[in-house]
Amino acid sequence: MEYLALLADQELWVAVLRIATPLVFGTLGVLLCERAGVLNLGIEGIMVAGAFTGWLTVYAGGHLWLGVLIAAATGAALGALHALLVVRLPLSQHVAGLGITLFATSLSYFAYRVSFPKVDSPPKIDAFAPLTHLLIPILNEQTAMTVLAFACVPALWWLLYKTPLGLALRAAGESPQAVEAQGIDVVRLRIGAVIAGSALMGVAGAFLTLSAFNSFFFNMVNGRGWICIALIVFASWRPGKAMLGALLFAFFDAAQLRLQQTGGSALPYQIYLMLPYVLSIVALVLVARKATYPQELMQPYIKGQR
């Protein structure tokens, strides 16, 4: 009974959408990169950098949407660096990605400390307000960024499956030689996909500082980027399933928070916190055998070589 009451709780579903938002942005970003054949482990750091620059823009007096734009540009710039390393030069995608994460994270923290040397509590901004004028319950407690995230899902689906560019992009991750044979530059296509995907990752980070919270603090991304890397396998690289996966993960995360409060002391709180991670692994085990990885994921493309 207790559990049913939990499901009927409107606040739970409000929290689910809120928690899912950065995961939707992030997973779609991963999807764009990986569909074109590039693993981007830079996501964790790109989210930190996006969270920081987006927040800093608004703190310096910029409009909230300008903050989102700057976060996207930050992500794009880091994506360009990643693409330069692993698409232009065929360097290890694992290592370059982890390097980008370390670089972006440490540079953001460094910049934050240089800009705000002696602050006890993190400086605050006026974050995105909920869309209270919408008359749909649950949705009217979300911000415009959440709506944007969920609007990106059909948009990306349309791009990937209904446009020639999308076809070329998917093919770049499956059979780059075939794309090249059509007279399309695979290297450029992949670089473009990584830049666009990384921009989405930057926006995912900005959601944390501009909507979910109203300040920047250390460790705020806290593994969300890695979750997106897991979700994309679960989603078999499809936008709709990516959204579903993000919602599912967010549901377990929101539910464990509430169970912690209502479930009392029956179980230690760490068990609840572990739940989303354990379930992610279980989900991966269930789908992994059927998972159809993009054929050329992590394979550098060098023109004229097979």
Partner 1 sequence: MRLEARAHESFWANCAAALAAVVFTLAICAVLIVWAKANVWSAYQAIFDGAFGSRFAITETLTRATPLIFTGLAAAIAFRARLFNIGAEGQLYAGAIAAVAISMWLTNEAGELLVSKWLVFPAMLIASALAGALLLLVPAWLKLKYRVDEVVTTLLLNFIALLFVSLLLDGAMKDATAMGWPQSPALHADLEFSKLIARARLHSGLLLAIALAVALALVIQFTRFGLYVRAVGANARAARFAGIQSTRTLLLVAALSGACAGLAGVSEVAGRTGYVTLDMSPGYGYSGIVIAMLAGLHPIGVVVAAIFVGAAIVGADAMSRAVNVPTYIADVIVAVTLLSILVAAFFAKMRVVWR
Under a CB-based contact definition with an 8 Å cutoff, are residues 34 and 169 in contact?
Answer: no
Give the span between the Cα atoms of 93 and 75, in whole angstroms.
17
Distance CA 159, CA 189 (A): 14
Q: How far apart are CA 55 and CA 153, in angstroms?
A: 24
- Select 168 or 259, whichever has its Cβ closest to partner 1: 259
User: What are the φ/ψ torsions at residue 251 (nearest 5 degrees)?
Assistant: -60, -45
x/- binding map, residues 63-92, to partner 1, per CB under 8 A? ----------------------x---x-xx
Which own/partner contact pairs does 180-184 have at CB distance under 8 Å and 24+ positions apart? Answer: 180/303
Q: Quick one: which of 104, 150, 306, 305 has its CA closest to 243?
A: 150
Query: Which residues, 285 to 304, sit near partner 1 by CB under 8 A?
Result: 285, 288-289, 291
258 Cβ neighbours under 8 A, 6+ residues apart: 6, 9, 12
Cβ proximity to partner 1, 107 vs 165, nearer residue? 107
Q: Minimum distance from CB of 99 to partner 1 (Å)?
A: 5
Q: Centre a 10 Å sphere on the Cβ of residue 97 and count the other Cβ atoms it contains.
A: 24
User: Which lies closer to partner 1 via its Cβ, residue 65 or residue 269?
Assistant: 269
Q: Is 22 in the site for partner 1 (CB under 8 A)?
A: no
Among residues 193, 229, 248, 250, which is the contact residue for partner 1, using CB under 8 A? 229
> Residue 66: enclosing H or E segment and its boundaries?
helix 64-83
Shortest Å, Cβ 258 to partner 1: 18
- Does 95 sit near partner 1 (CB under 8 A)? yes
Between 224-234 and 269-288, two packed helices, what is the crossing angle to 10 degrees?
30
Which lies closer to partner 1 via its Cβ, residue 206 or residue 232?
Answer: 232
Whole-angstrom distance, CA of residue 217 vs CA of residue 65:
20
Complex with partner 1: residue 132 or 270, whichever CB lies closer? 270
Q: Using CB under 8 A, which of the segments 14-22, 131-139, 197-205, 264-272 binds partner 1?
A: 264-272
Residues 111-170 that bind partner 1 (CB under 8 A): 113-114, 117
Q: Restricting to residues 25-64, name those near partner 1 by CB under 8 A.
A: 41
Contact 89, 31 (CB under 8 A): no
| Residue (132 or 265) nearer to partner 1, CB | 265
Q: Quick one: which of 3, 60, 63, 102 contacts partner 1 (CB under 8 A)?
A: 102
For partner 1, the binding residues (CB under 8 A) are 41, 85, 89, 91-92, 94-96, 98-100, 102-103, 105-107, 109-110, 113-114, 117, 223, 226-227, 229-230, 233, 268, 270-271, 273-274, 277-278, 280-281, 284-285, 288-289, 291
